[in-house]
Amino acid sequence: MVPYTTKRFEIALNTSAGQITTAVEVPTGFVPVTAIVPLIRRLGEEAHTLEVARLVDEGKTPSCHKGCAACCRMLVPLSAPEAFALREWVRARPTDQQDRISARFAETKSQLLSHGIWQRLSELCNAPEQPNDDALEALNRDYYALRMPCPFLDEEVCTIYEERPAACRELLVTSPSEYCADLINNPVEPISAPVRVSTVLGLLWQELAMTPTSLIPLPLACDWADRHQADNQRTWKGTELLDQALDKVWRFVSQSFSGSRRDPAS
């Protein structure tokens, strides 16, 4: 990989959880959209850390811990940039590891096909607009009812923890961990994310590629990225990518301050 020249930026961002002040190194040359993914994830995680600290001060401590993988049986949506980044990560693994991952994805696809869910997930990737909440909730419930582990889950431990999607990073709860054994019927109390990274990256891709904002279910992410490989080969100036991404972050944050519950993508 050709090394990039970078430029340092100081970012200050007011969120519903408090102010984030951080520095990022951004490539100054032309880079694919995946180059911005780690930077936006970092902003999201710093905002989430502030929200967790605020709740701890109120006596609400996250109950999530290593080996607690009930949420790894939920349907995980990715933005297009995250799907590309995940595919790149898989391709960078040793051949034997790639083979194991491919086998797990094939097994997952087989199970989803047998339950009539694969086609419904595929429709999400190609929908001209995001489905309504009721339709998504029904699909989430049907998927979760299978209690099927994520293809990247091995002995109840995430094998892509450092590269896991934003939706996984943002899912923390303060309710007792045993409640997560049945996320549908138990009163689980999630911690809200001050910045939803997948939404931000989805809006960024919508603007860059001039396409609808897609929800890409994790089991389909690698296949989707392979089919759209030409898009992932497109490049933009790194500093311009950051400016556009931060614009989407500020848009999301401003809506949270205004008390709006609507998704900025809607």
Mean pLDDT over each residue of the chain, to the nearest integer: 89
pLDDT of residue 67: 77
pLDDT of residue 182: 85
Tens of pLDDT, residue by residue over 108-137, are 999 999 999 999 999 888 877 777 777 788
Token pair of 78, please? 């990715």
Indicate whether 221 belongs to any domain.
yes
What average pLDDT does range 174-201 have in this prediction?
A: 89
How many domains does the structure of the chain reveal? 1
Indicate whether 103 belongs to any domain.
yes
Tens of pLDDT, residue by residue over 14-56, are 988 899 999 999 998 999 999 999 999 999 999 999 999 999 9
- Domain boundaries, position 153: 6-257
Tens of pLDDT, residue by residue over 140-181, are 999 999 999 999 999 889 999 999 999 999 999 999 888 888
pTM: 0.91
Indicate whether 265 belongs to any domain.
no
Indicate whether 62 belongs to any domain.
yes
